């Protein structure tokens, strides 16, 4: 195996570990320590990955049930809109500037 391939595998493994280390429903949040605004943003960004993991692990959820309410929801919504909706807005803007 080439050194570049080994490096790519290591980096991919590290990225996968980081993205899955704080998935919703992992058990790190409780009534005394609920997920807040920043975790709402994080869980919104990793929602597609959480969905894939939830197919194989039913304890992993897309949305953290133990949360602070409005602020968690607000962060989650911002991440979903900016992560997915932002891409389509950028593409529309690029098309209109190129005259297509």
Top-confidence residue, 36 or 12: 36
Domain of residue 12: give its range.
3-98
Q: Is 100 helix (H, G, I), strand (E, B) or coil?
A: coil
**Does pTM surpass 0.75?**
no
| Total structural domains within the chain | 1
The pLDDT assigned to 78 comes to 92
Q: Confirm if 26 and 64 have CB atoms less than 8 A apart.
A: no
pLDDT per residue as tens digits for the range 12-27: 877 777 666 677 876 6
């Amino acid at each position: 195996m080439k050194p570049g391939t080994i490096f790519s595998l290591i980096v991919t493994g590290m990225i996968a570990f980081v993205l899955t280390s704080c998935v919703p429903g992992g058990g790190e949040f409780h009534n005394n320590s609920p997920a807040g605004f920043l975790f709402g943003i994080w869980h919104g960004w990793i929602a597609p990955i959480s969905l894939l993991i939830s197919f194989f692990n039913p304890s992993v959820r897309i949305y953290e049930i133990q949360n602070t309410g409005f602020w968690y929801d607000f962060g989650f919504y911002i991440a979903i809109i900016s992560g997915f909706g932002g891409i389509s807005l950028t593409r529309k803007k690029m098309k209109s500037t190129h005259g297509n």
